[in-house]
Amino acid sequence: MTTIELPLAIKRRPFLRTATALVWIVALAAFLAVAQHVINSGFVRRDIEALQAGEAWRTGGWLSQLVLSVVGLINDVDWQQSILSLTAAVMAGLAFGLLYDRMRFNGWTILGTVFVLAGFGMHAQVLYAITAQSRGLPLYFAFAAIIPAIRQMEQVGDVQSTISLGLLMPLVLLAGPLTTPLIVPLALGAALADPDGRRDARAFVAMLLVALIPTLIVAIGVVGFVAQSGIGVVNVIMPYITTYGLLRPGDYGQSLGVLFTFAPVAIVPLLYLVWPNLPERRHVWSAIAVVAMPLYLAIARVTFNSSMQAFVPAIALMAAYISWLCVVRLPFALRIVAFAILAAAAALSWSNTVMWEDAEWKTALFSTDVLSNLELRPGV
Amino acid sequence: MEVSPEDIAALDEATLPVYSVLVPMYKEARVLPLLAKALKGLDYPAAKLEVKLVLEEDDVETIDAAKALKLPGTFEIVRVPPSQPKTKPKACNYALQFCRGEFVTIYDAEDQPEPDQLKKAVLAFRRGDPRLACVQGRLNYFNRSENWLTRMFTLEYSQWFDFLLPGLDWLKVPIPLGGTSNHFKLEALREVGAWDPYNVTEDADLGVRLAQEGYTVGVINSTTFEEANGVLPSWIKQRSRWIKGYMQTWLVHMRHPIALWRSIGTKGFFAFHFFIGAPPFTMLLAPILWAITLMVWFTHSFDVGWLFPEPFGTMALFNLVIGNLFLVYFGVIAALKRKYYDLVPVGVLLPFYWVLHSIAAYKAFKQLISNPHYWEKTEHGTSAVTQKTLEEVKRAGS
């Protein structure tokens, strides 16, 4: 009797690896501890201030608005602060766990991964975004999610890549009015990335539709739910009219200065574009997107009527950069550069108080009063 | 279950088992040359292949046409003696006693399976769990661009066979088998009692019974191309039979719900309701809900707020808007995955196609009560693509 050799079945990866879960839990605990420490030291989160100050928080960032609306239903400020901190810490913790998993999968050593994530987590504005003002989180997540999708389109370039990017694009819409125009080049890029899309007009239209439909569905959903809740459809359109109805050219130098001072990591994707002998085929579009999307934000925020703060594009760039590190294969020397610049960015974020400063937050963060506060609590 | 061309190339043909192919037909003499061409194109050793044309004894026209084709020795005519019910599963059950293959599959008269489908099925069985009793090939259409109905039908099939069934396979829940291109281990098929001759979607019913007996079903990456029904009255007839069959299957198995739950488990039990029981029910219910929604939106004179207290009102709105739009989206990406680019823009018209489903569902519901075991025969060979291919085959033959 003849025996035949059968190909081995592909082993399914575990849904959640122990190390990934551990990183998630440690990151969650660390962020939550810092956030709670800041609150215990008397700091009022900037989100809560915005919520109490009237309608200014309705900026068209639908995800953060939804969270703030729910939090706004609670009367107690302490509870509001704790819920926001917990939400931000859980999301950030999850993201760190995922980043760890992806970096390890992409050949980074445990030590290298931990250093990179620690450098990222210790960046002043990143920490600020998690513990003090989390309205920008959906934007950072959107940028972090889009980069691997663009990379997949370059690397694989199949229909599934277009579908994946299309499914992530609603995040760009939900992040706010200023990011919404990015949907157009992304959708066009998705349609043109496929070889059939470049050759055949029908394929181009099909790809474009598939890239856009999820965003359209979410947009229709937002309109539907706003109408259902009695807020009025005009309130959906208003943030866009406010943003784009008025050109308000501002200080471009200052905006770009903040971007590249707090996120000098932009140099690494640019170096990647020219670095000789890469251990992989050079994928330029995802590297360009890491810099281009935050650059657009930095320019747009001072061109249009936006309340976006100057440091937001810098964190967006950091998020896109870290996400890019998870999917790119860099030579060892460039990895060293990547980490060194990340460490420099973290150092600059604390030391450069001319471009950005929130003294109250820093005072609360470095306060030791928390110990006395704890002593006041029953049972401690 | 993915089988690559490299896996096929690595197969030693000497180790392949005998494979039986059943082709039940009734008054379909004109598409016989097409079928013969497709089956002769199967990449499987002739010595190990037996094709049985399962014909009703009174269908003299098809029997004569089959004889006139002078088919090779792998083909054999099985005459089914007249008896009731006169259904496809009854004919297949009769033919099963003559099969000697380790595996058996069914094709319809107009089917065009991919040549390596039998080999892929064999490999899937060899690699699969010992309890794997059936692998389902994917079905799709060769005449998709003929008219709006064939386009919609193709979108639906692409979604069903390329996305939903592999999803059910992944979840390990009962799979409602498609009408053709299901490949069985003959032994397991006999053990479960083969097909229910009274059920008009005997395939869906068999999927549930296999699961009840502890067997599993997989989906392979091989496609059989069929003729999409592009004639509206004929489409309604065919669809009403399918929906009636789903209703029958649900009713039959729900005679003993606890026994069913015990035999297929909690996950399987829910899947059974979601994918076999719920579709006919939603098709019946949908027009009523559409009517209410339209009345409220356009007349503003009809208050149904009491029907949808919060949060149910928001949930209903979510289902209507997001749920339906995502269903459209899934149809569209199924087309894109098959590179049917022309179907993507028309995919947004899928909701109109669902209206036709509801019409067929009401016909099915009426027939379930008045004539439950009546088999609405689907007429094959009406497509212009089929006609053209037939002419080519005839020309090549002459």
Residues A51-104: tens digit of each pLDDT: 776 665 667 677 887 888 888 888 888 888 888 888 999 999 999 999 999 998
For residue A207, the model assigns a pLDDT of 92
pLDDT of the residue at A92: 92
Collapsing DSSP to helix, strand or coil, B22 comes out as strand
Tokens 């950072």 belong to residue: A140
Nearest Cβ partner for B344 among A5, A160, A206: A206
- Is A220 close to B325, i.e. CB distance below 8 A? yes
- pLDDT computed for residue A7 by the predictor: 46
Q: How far is A159 from chain B (nearest CA, A)?
A: 6
Number of inter-chain CB pairs under 8 A, A vs B:
76
Asked if residue A273 has pLDDT above 90, the reply is yes
Nearest to B333 among A4, A210, A225 (CB): A210
**ipTM at complex level:** 0.76
Give the confidence band of A377 by pLDDT, cuts at 50, 70, 90.
very low
- Across A228-237, A258-267, B385-394, the highest mean pLDDT is recorded for A258-267
Determine the residue type at B48: K
Phi, psi torsion values for B34, nearest 5 degrees:
-65, -45
How close are the terminal C-alpha atoms of chain B, in Å?
41
Q: Hey, CA dihedral for A181, A165, A269, A317, is it positive or negative?
A: positive
Given a cut of 90, whether residue B102 has pLDDT beyond it is yes
Distance CA A228, CA B293 (A): 14
- What pLDDT is attached to residue A9? 45
Instruction: Give A32-45 pLDDT, tens digit per residue.
Output: 999 888 888 888 88
Return the pLDDT at B36: 87
Query: What tokens does A212 get?
Result: 């856009």
CA–CA distance, A144 with A120 (Å, rounded to integer): 13
* Structure confidence at residue A56 (pLDDT): 58
**Residue-wise pLDDT tens digits, A350-363:** 988 888 888 888 88
Calpha distance A14→A1 (Å, rounded):
38
Rg of chain A (C-alpha set): 22
Which residue among B10, B127, B344 places its CB closest to the CB of A209?
B344
CA–CA distance, B201 with B206 (Å, rounded to integer)? 9
Q: What are A122-142's pLDDT values in tens digits?
A: 999 999 999 888 888 899 999
| Residue tagged 């497509």 (tokens) | B383
Q: Measured in Å, how far apart are chain A's first and last C-alpha atoms?
A: 76
CA distance A206 to A307: 36
Q: What is the mean pLDDT of residues B96-109?
A: 92
CA distance linking residue B318 with residue B329, whole number of Å = 15
- Taking CB atoms and an 8 Å cutoff, what residues of chain A touch B314? 225, 228-229
CB contact under 8 A, A214 and B329: yes
Q: Is the peptide bond before A294 cis (omega within 30 degrees of 0)?
A: no
Most confident of A192-196, A291-295, B216-220: A291-295
CA-wise closest residue to B113 among B84, B149, B87, B137: B137
Residue in A225, A189, A231 with CA at minimum distance from that of residue A58: A231
User: Which has the higher per-residue pLDDT, A314 or A6?
Assistant: A314
Whether the predicted pLDDT of A328 surpasses 60: yes
Nearest alpha carbon to residue B158 among B333, B39, B297: B333
Nearest to A217 among B7, B11, B322 (CB): B322
Determine, for residues B322 and A221 on separate chains, whether the beta-carbon distance falls below 8 Å.
yes
Q: Provide the shortest C-alpha distance from residue B187 to chain A (in Å).
A: 22
Give the tokens for residue A375: 């002593």
Contact by Cβ (8 Å): B232, B296: no
- How many Cβ atoms are within 10 Å of A375's Cβ, its own excluded? 8
SS3 B16: coil
Q: Are B99 and B24 in contact (CB under 8 A)?
A: no
> What average pLDDT score do residues B286-293 get?
88
Q: Residue A379: its pLDDT value, please?
A: 39
Nearest to A2 among B12, B317, B342 (CB): B12
pTM summary value: 0.80
Please tell me whether residue B321 adopts helix, strand or coil conformation.
helix
- Interface test with chain B among A6, A69, A220, A226, by most B beta carbons within 10 Å: A6
> Sign of torsion, CA B2 B7 B9 B12?
negative
Q: Indicate if the pLDDT at residue B143 is higher than 80.
A: yes
- Distance, in Å, from the CA atom of B360 to the CA atom of B284, rounded to the nearest integer, reads 9
Q: Which of A228, A231, A233 to mutate to test the interface with B (most CBs of B within 10 A)?
A: A228
Question: Is B247 a residue whose pLDDT tops 90?
Answer: yes
Q: Of A9, A162, A207, which is closest to B127 when you measure between CB atoms?
A: A9
Q: Please report the pLDDT score of residue A8 as a whole number.
A: 44
pLDDT at position A369 is 65
- Look at residues B175, B206, B177, B169 and name the one whose alpha carbon lies nearest to residue B93: B206
Closest-CA residue to B336 (of A116, A90, A167, A103) = A167
Please name the member of B14, B313, B345 whose beta carbon is closest to the beta carbon of A209. Answer: B345
Confidence of residue B259 (pLDDT cuts 50, 70, 90): very high
Residue type, A309: Q
Nearest residue in chain A measured CA to CA from B338? A159
Of the candidates A327, A322, A323, the one whose C-alpha atom is nearest the C-alpha of residue A339 is A322
CA distance B151 to chain A (A): 15
Which helix (DSSP H) or strand (DSSP E) does residue B140 occupy?
strand B132-141
A199-213, A350-364, B148-162, B324-338 — which is least confidently predicted?
A350-364
What tokens appear for A73 in the block?
A: 């239903």
**3-state secondary structure string, chain A?**
CCCCCCCCCCCCCCCCCHHHHHHHHHHHHHHHHHHHHHHHCCCCCHHHHHHHCCCCCCCCCHHHHHHHHHHHCCCCHHHHHHHHHHHHHHHHHHHHHHHHHHHHHCCCCHHHHHHHHHHHHCCHHHHHHHHCCCCCHHHHHHHHHHHHHHHHHHHCCCHHHHHHHHHHHHHHHHHCCCCHHHHHHHHHHHHHHCHHHHHCHHHHHHHHHHHHHHHHHHHHHHHHHHHHCCCCCHHHHHHHHHHHCCECCCCHHHHHHHHHHHCHHHHHHHHHHHCCCCCCCCCHHHHHHHHHHHHHHHHHHHHECCCCCCCHHHHHHHHHHHHHHHHCCCCHHHHHHHHHHHHHHHHHHHHCCCCCCCHHHHHHHCCCCHHHHHHHCCCC
Cβ burial of A64 (10 Å; 0-12, 13-18, 19+) is: buried
Residue B52 C-alpha, separation from nearest chain A C-alpha, in angstroms = 29
Single out the residue of B261, B309, B282, B275 nearest to residue B365, CA to CA: B282
Question: Closest approach of chain A CAs to the CA of B225, in angstroms?
Answer: 22
Q: pLDDT tens across B296-325, in order? A: 778 776 677 777 777 787 788 888 888 889
Q: Is the pLDDT of residue B375 over 90?
A: no
CB count in 10 Å sphere of residue A337 = 18
Averaged pLDDT for residues B270-285: 94
Kindly determine whether residue A200 and residue B341, on different chains, have CB atoms separated by under 8 Å: yes
Q: Which residues of A touch B344 (CB under 8 A)?
A: 205-206, 209-210
Measure B388 CA to nearest chain A CA, in Å.
25
**A206 contacts B336? CB cut-off 8 A:** yes
Average confidence score pLDDT of chain A? 86
Q: How confident is the model at residue A13 (pLDDT cuts 50, 70, 90)?
A: low
- Using CA coordinates, name the residue in chain A closest to B323: A217
Model pLDDT, residue B175: 86
Cα–Cα dist A219/A171, whole Å: 11
Contact B123 A6 (CB under 8 A): yes
Mutate to test the interface with B, among A10, A209, A216 (most CBs of B within 10 A): A209
Chain B residues with a Cβ under 8 Å from any Cβ in chain A? 4, 6-7, 10-12, 14-15, 123, 126-127, 313-314, 317-318, 321-322, 325-326, 328-329, 332-333, 335-337, 339, 341-342, 344-345
Determine the distance in angstroms separating the CA of A213 from the nearest CA of chain B, rounded to an integer: 7
B333: nearest CB among A163, A216, A225: A163
Strand order through the sheet with B132-141: B75-80, B49-56, B19-25, B103-106, B182-185, B132-141, B216-226, B112-113
Contact B123 A200 (CB under 8 A): no
